[in-house]
Amino acid sequence: MTRAIAPALRPTTADNRLSGRPEFDAIAAWIEHGAQVLDLGCGDGSLLRYLREGRRAMGYGIEIDDANVLASVRNGVNVLQSNLESGLAGFESGSFDYVILSQTLQAVRHTEQIIGEMLRVGRQAIVTFPNFGYWGHRLQILRGRMPVSPTLPYQWYDTPNVHLFTLRDFEAFCADHGIRILERVVMNQGRVVSILPNLLGSLAVYRFNRGPQP
């Protein structure tokens, strides 16, 4: 039986190429106490555990990979094995406070569909993704090579990423799709970047909802 794979890029305990922590803090800062969250592509469940311990958040992770499902169970968080690409059919509309997609959007094939589902099920959505427009990435492109960095830690031939994009690309996408960006945090090496974010930031964190209908 073949299953479409939406690999999670979230670090597992065995994979420390991404520290993960700074974005966790950014996300946690937005989430009120006791919120109900759905974490798509939850990896080993670290973020859910962090939100439960830090924000008393209750929620579920969705994960396709067997090893990550096992790691999440070990981590004591709720994980539901399912393929994100087939949507969130089991979840009622507007039933979660936040639907989070952390370090996974660039690896999802049907971008519009998954963002649409996040905004259907969640009152708000949060995504984090590596900024392809980061100067270090641009420099590697100028030198004629695909970028490899702490936020894009894969070679061109083994990357699970299928859609690489920049902050400006994402914001244009939101504008085109009637999505209202509520807040944005851009980071590099764990520090918040406030000037020239599309050039100096390697990791973006966005909070958004469905904008007012025209």
Partner 1 sequence: MNAPESIGVVIARKAQFDRPVRLRSGAVIDRYELAYETYGRINQKRDNAVLVCHALNASHHVAGIYGDNPPNVGWWDNLVGPWKPVDTNRFFVVGVNNLGGCHGSTGPASIDPATGRPWGADFPVVTVEDWVQTQAQLADHLGIERFAVVMGGSLGAMQALQWTMSFPDRIRHALVIAAAPKLSAQNIAFNEVARQAIMTDPDFHGGDFYAHNVVPRRGLRLARMIGHITYLSDDAMAEKFGRALRNGALKFNFDAEFEIESYLRYQGDKFSDYFDANTYLRITKALDYFDPAADYGGDLTKALARAKAAFLVVSFTSDWRFSPARSREILKALVDNRLDVSYAEIDAPHGHDTFLMDDQRYHNLIRAYLDNVDIG
Kindly list the residues in this chain that would bind partner 1 in the complex (CB under 8 A). 1, 3, 36, 58, 60, 66, 69-70, 72-74, 76-82, 90-92, 95
Distances in whole angstroms, Cα of residue 189 to Cα of each of 25, 134, 141, 150, 201: 13, 12, 20, 9, 9
Spatial CA neighbour of 87 closest among 111, 60, 123:
111
Q: Which is nearer to partner 1, 94 or 190 (CB)?
A: 94
Closer to partner 1 by CB, 57 or 167: give it.
Answer: 57
Tell me how far, at minimum, the Cβ of 47 lies from partner 1, in Å. Answer: 16
139, burial (CB in 10 Å: exposed 0-12, middle 13-18, buried 19+)? exposed
Minimum Å gap between C-beta 85 and partner 1 is 15
Q: Which two tokens stand for residue 187?
A: 């980071």
CA R_g for the chain: 16
Q: How far apart are CA 69 and CA 138, in angstroms?
A: 35
CB closer to partner 1, 1 vs 142? 1
Q: How far is the CB of 55 from partner 1 (least distance, A)?
A: 16
Nearest to 131 by CA among 106, 160, 100: 106
- C-beta closer to partner 1: residue 23 or 65: 65
Give the DSSP letter string of 10-40: S--TT--S---HHHHHHHHHHSPTT-EEEEE
Task: Between 61 and 133, name the residue whose CB sits nearer to partner 1.
Answer: 61
How far apart CA 34 and CA 51 sit, in angstroms, is 9
Gap between the Cα atoms of 81 and 65, Å rounded: 8
Q: Are 121 and 96 in contact (CB under 8 A)?
A: yes
Instruction: CB nearer to partner 1: give 76 or 178.
Output: 76
